[in-house]
Amino acid sequence: MGTRRRDAEFTEFVASRRVRLHRTAYLLCGDPHRAEDIVQQALAKLYVSWPRVRRADSVDAYARRSVLNAFLDDGARGWRREVVAEIQDRAQADPLTHEDSDALWQALRELPPGQRRVVVLRHYWGLSVEETAADLGVSPGTVKSQTSAALARLRDVLVPADATGDHR
């Protein structure tokens, strides 16, 4: 594969997927600046591996996995840089109300990284259990159990307010 073709294909991919990858990273780490770091790192790795990945027709999966792994590599920092300020900054553009958004961020923040990854892959990317398992290198049973556990935790955080009729 020539450099010109590689560059053209890579640039086209970035144009079509960058926002989604950034949002994926943002949902995982809760910090837009870290998300940008993660995406930049993932895309640089993708460029290096482009001929192989392109040939295998697995560009999306590779990019997604790179984001997930970059998040994990950076995982020691977790959610320590909290996102309250960012939530306030972007509240106006958020289709969710500020309260809903805040509650959901709080719920996501309380999920272990593994469950958060499953939630993002299944409920943001819309991957099946099997596809999610393939991305994460785990069994479908693990994905199912993590999905179930994540839902239970989210219910714990989100449902009580709904049950009381409060608008969150």
Positions that interact with other proteins (CB under 8 A): 1, 7, 10-11, 14-15, 18-19, 22-23, 26-27, 32, 36, 40, 43-53, 56, 58, 62, 65-66, 69, 90, 93-96, 100-101, 104-105, 119-120, 122-124, 126, 133-134, 137-139, 147, 151, 154-155, 158-159
What's the CA gap between 160 and 86, in Å, rounded? 25
Least distance from other proteins to the Cβ atom of residue 80, Å: 20
Closer residue to other proteins, CB minimum distance, 26 or 79: 26
Tally Cβ neighbours within 10 Å of residue 104: 17
Alpha-carbon torsion (41, 42, 43, 49), positive or negative: positive
Contacts of residue 91, defined as CB under 8 A and 6 or more positions apart, other chains included, come to 98, 101
Least distance from other proteins to the Cβ atom of residue 165, Å: 16
Least distance from other proteins to the Cβ atom of residue 143, Å: 12
Least distance from other proteins to the Cβ atom of residue 37, Å: 11
Q: What is the DSSP letter of 18?
A: H
Closer residue to other proteins, CB minimum distance, 69 or 80: 69
What's the CA gap between 3 and 144, in Å, rounded? 42
Structure tokens at 145: 């159990």
